[in-house]
A and B are shown apart, each in its own frame.
Chain A
Amino acid sequence: MGMVSGDCRRLHSLPRYYGYYVAMLTALPAILLLALWISLDQSLITHLVMASLPQSMQPLPPSEQSLLINDIRNLATGNITSGEISPALQAAADHYRHLMHLSRLLLPTALFLLAIGGIALGLKVIHPDRRARPAVERVIRWGLILSASIAILTTLGIVLSVLFEALRFFQKVPLADFLFGLEWSPQIAIREDQVGASGAFGVIPLFAGTLLIATIALSVAVPIGLLSAIYLAEFATPRVRTWVKPLLEILAGIPTVVYGFFAALVVAPLVRAAGESIGLEVSSESALAAGLVMGIMLIPFISSLSDDVINAVPGAMWDGSLAMGATHAETIFRVIVPAALPGIVGGVLLAASRAIGETMIVVMAAGVGANLTANPLESVTTITVQIVTLLVGDQEFDSPKTLAAFALGLVLFIATLLLNVLALYVVRRYREAYD
Chain B
Amino acid sequence: MTKRSDIRAAVERGLSRRRRRDRLVRRLGLGAILLGLGFLAFMFFSIIGMGYSAFWQTRIQLPVELDPAAIDPERTHDPAVLRNADYAGLIKQALRKRFPQIKKRKEKRKLYQLVSSGAAYALQAMVLQNPALIGSTPGLWLTANDDVDVWFKHPETSGKRLNDQQKAWLEELHAKGELKKFFNLDFFRNGDSREPEQAGILGALMGSFYTILVTLGLSLPLGIAAAVYLEEFAPKNRWTDFIEVNINNLAAVPSIVFGLLGLAVFINFFGLPRSAPLVGGLVLTLMTLPTIIIASRAALKSVPPSIREAALGVGASRMQTLFHHVLPLAMPGMLTGTIIGMAQALGETAPLLMIGMVAFIVDVPRGILDPATVLPVQIHLWADSPERAFLEKTAAAIMVLLAFLVLMNLAAIWLRRKFEKRW
Q: Which residues of A pack against B, CB within 8 Å? A: 39, 42, 133-134, 136-137, 140-141, 143-152, 154-155, 157-158, 161-162, 164-165, 223-228, 230-232, 235, 244, 247-248, 250-251, 253-258, 260-262, 264-266, 296, 299, 303, 325, 327-330, 332-333, 350, 353-354, 356-360, 363-364, 384, 387-388, 391-392, 397, 405-406, 409, 412-413, 416-417, 420-421, 424
User: In the assembled complex, which residues on chain B have CB atoms less than 8 Å from the CB atom of A162?
Assistant: 257, 260-261, 264
List 17 additional contacts besides A244-B33, A392-B358, A405-B260; criterion CB under 8 Å: A152-B242, A158-B253, A161-B264, A225-B36, A253-B405, A254-B402, A258-B47, A261-B398, A328-B25, A330-B21, A357-B257, A360-B350, A384-B256, A391-B263, A409-B256, A416-B254, A420-B252
How big is the B interface, by class? 35 or more
Asked if A299 meets B354 with Cβ closer than 8 Å, knowing A144-B229, A231-B26, A387-B256, the reply is no
User: In the assembled complex, which residues on chain A have CB atoms less than 8 Å from the CB atom of B246?
Assistant: 151-152, 155
Residue of B nearest to A159 (CB): B261
Across the interface, do A231 and B254 meet the contact criterion of CB distance under 8 Å? no
User: In the assembled complex, which residues on chain A have CB atoms less than 8 Å from the CB atom of B318?
Assistant: 137
The one of B21, B225, B395 in contact with A147, judged by C-beta atoms closer than 8 angstroms, is B225
Across the interface, do A258 and B401 meet the contact criterion of CB distance under 8 Å? yes
The one of B35, B263, B343, B398 in contact with A253, judged by C-beta atoms closer than 8 angstroms, is B343
Across the interface, do A357 and B347 meet the contact criterion of CB distance under 8 Å? no
Across the interface, do A149 and B243 meet the contact criterion of CB distance under 8 Å? yes
Give Cα distance in the complex from A412 to B26, angstroms: 39
Across the interface, do A248 and B36 meet the contact criterion of CB distance under 8 Å? yes
Across the interface, do A328 and B26 meet the contact criterion of CB distance under 8 Å? yes
Across the interface, do A151 and B250 meet the contact criterion of CB distance under 8 Å? yes
Asked if A353 meets B257 with Cβ closer than 8 Å, knowing A143-B225, A250-B40, A260-B383, the reply is no
Provide the B286-303 mask, 1 if CB < 8 A to any CB of A, else 0: 100110010000000000
Across the interface, do A417 and B36 meet the contact criterion of CB distance under 8 Å? no
User: In the assembled complex, which residues on chain B have CB atoms less than 8 Å from the CB atom of A265?
Assistant: 50, 383, 391
Across the interface, do A329 and B21 meet the contact criterion of CB distance under 8 Å? yes
Task: Give the interface segment out of B124-132, B155-163, B265-273.
Answer: B265-273
Q: With both chains docked as a complex, state the minimum distance between the C-beta of B394 and any C-beta of chain A, in angstroms.
A: 6
Across the interface, do A327 and B19 meet the contact criterion of CB distance under 8 Å? yes
User: In the assembled complex, which residues on chain A have CB atoms less than 8 Å from the CB atom of B33?
Assistant: 227-228, 231-232, 244, 248
The one of A155, A363, A406 in contact with B264, judged by C-beta atoms closer than 8 angstroms, is A406
Give Cα distance in the complex from A285 to B130, angstroms: 52
Does B174 count as interface, using CB distance less than 8 angstroms?
no
Q: With both chains docked as a complex, state the minimum distance between the C-beta of A120 and any C-beta of chain B, in angstroms.
A: 27
User: In the assembled complex, which residues on chain B have CB atoms less than 8 Å from the CB atom of A137?
Assistant: 317-319
Name 28 A/B residue pairs within 8 A (Cβ), A-sorted: A42-B271, A141-B233, A145-B229, A145-B233, A149-B243, A161-B269, A164-B264, A225-B36, A231-B26, A244-B37, A248-B33, A255-B348, A255-B401, A257-B347, A257-B380, A257-B383, A261-B47, A262-B46, A266-B43, A296-B36, A296-B43, A299-B36, A329-B22, A387-B260, A391-B353, A406-B264, A409-B256, A424-B248
User: In the assembled complex, which residues on chain B have CB atoms less than 8 Å from the CB atom of A416?
Assistant: 252-254, 257
User: In the assembled complex, which residues on chain A have CB atoms less than 8 Å from the CB atom of B76?
Assistant: none
Q: With both chains docked as a complex, state the minimum distance between the C-beta of A22 and any C-beta of chain B, in angstroms.
A: 18
Across the interface, do B32 and A227 meet the contact criterion of CB distance under 8 Å? yes
User: In the assembled complex, which residues on chain A have CB atoms less than 8 Å from the CB atom of B40?
Assistant: 247-248, 250-251
Report B1-58 residues with CB < 8 Å from chain A CB.
11, 18-19, 21-22, 24-26, 28-33, 35-37, 39-40, 43, 46-47, 50
Give Cα distance in the complex from A231 to B256, angstroms: 35
Asked if A151 meets B247 with Cβ closer than 8 Å, knowing A255-B376, A258-B379, the reply is yes
Q: Which of B22, B43, B343 has most chain A Cβ within 10 Å? A: B43
User: In the assembled complex, which residues on chain A have CB atoms less than 8 Å from the CB atom of B43?
Assistant: 254, 258, 262, 266, 296
Give Cα distance in the complex from A423 to B402, angstroms: 32
Across the interface, do B380 and A360 meet the contact criterion of CB distance under 8 Å? yes
Give Cα distance in the complex from A388 to B356, angstroms: 11
User: In the assembled complex, which residues on chain B have CB atoms less than 8 Å from the CB atom of A247?
Assistant: 37, 40
Across the interface, do B293 and A151 meet the contact criterion of CB distance under 8 Å? yes
Q: Which residues of B pack against A, CB within 8 Å? A: 11, 18-19, 21-22, 24-26, 28-33, 35-37, 39-40, 43, 46-47, 50, 221-223, 225-226, 228-230, 233-234, 242-243, 246-250, 252-258, 260-261, 263-265, 268-271, 286, 289-290, 293, 317-319, 343, 346-350, 353-354, 358, 376-377, 379-380, 383-384, 391, 394-395, 398, 401-402, 405, 409
Q: With both chains docked as a complex, state the minimum distance between the C-beta of A230 and any C-beta of chain B, in angstroms.
A: 5
Q: Which of A299, A325, A332 has most chain B Cβ within 10 Å? A: A299
Give Cα distance in the complex from A157 to B348, angstroms: 20
Across the interface, do A253 and B394 meet the contact criterion of CB distance under 8 Å? no
Give Cα distance in the complex from A356 to B256, angstroms: 11
Asked if A148 meets B37 with Cβ closer than 8 Å, knowing A231-B32, A332-B25, the reply is no
Q: With both chains docked as a complex, state the minimum distance between the C-beta of A69 and any C-beta of chain B, in angstroms.
A: 11
Across the interface, do A357 and B254 meet the contact criterion of CB distance under 8 Å? yes
Residue of A nearest to B340 (CB): A253
Asked if A359 meets B21 with Cβ closer than 8 Å, knowing A244-B37, A388-B353, the reply is no
Give Cα distance in the complex from A134 to B43, angstroms: 57
Give Cα distance in the complex from A264 to B398, angstroms: 14
User: In the assembled complex, which residues on chain A have CB atoms less than 8 Å from the CB atom of B31?
Assistant: 227
Q: With both chains docked as a complex, state the minimum distance between the C-beta of A299 and any C-beta of chain B, in angstroms.
A: 5
User: In the assembled complex, which residues on chain A have CB atoms less than 8 Å from the CB atom of B261?
Assistant: 154, 157-158, 161-162
User: In the assembled complex, which residues on chain A have CB atoms less than 8 Å from the CB atom of B221?
Assistant: 147
Q: Which of A154, A158, A248, A264 has most chain B Cβ within 10 Å? A: A154
Give Cα distance in the complex from A388 to B39, angstroms: 28
Give Cα distance in the complex from A39 to B252, angstroms: 31
Across the interface, do A151 and B226 meet the contact criterion of CB distance under 8 Å? yes
The one of A133, A158, A254 in contact with B347, judged by C-beta atoms closer than 8 angstroms, is A254
Q: With both chains docked as a complex, state the minimum distance between the C-beta of B186 and any C-beta of chain A, in angstroms.
A: 22
The one of A136, A157, A165, A264 in contact with B383, judged by C-beta atoms closer than 8 angstroms, is A264
Q: Which of B47, B225, B318, B405 has most chain A Cβ within 10 Å? A: B225
Q: With both chains docked as a complex, state the minimum distance between the C-beta of B221 and any C-beta of chain A, in angstroms.
A: 8
Give Cα distance in the complex from A325 to B230, angstroms: 49
Asked if A360 meets B257 with Cβ closer than 8 Å, knowing A231-B29, A250-B40, A255-B401, the reply is no
Q: With both chains docked as a complex, state the minimum distance between the C-beta of B49 and any C-beta of chain A, in angstroms.
A: 10
Give Cα distance in the complex from A165 to B242, angstroms: 25
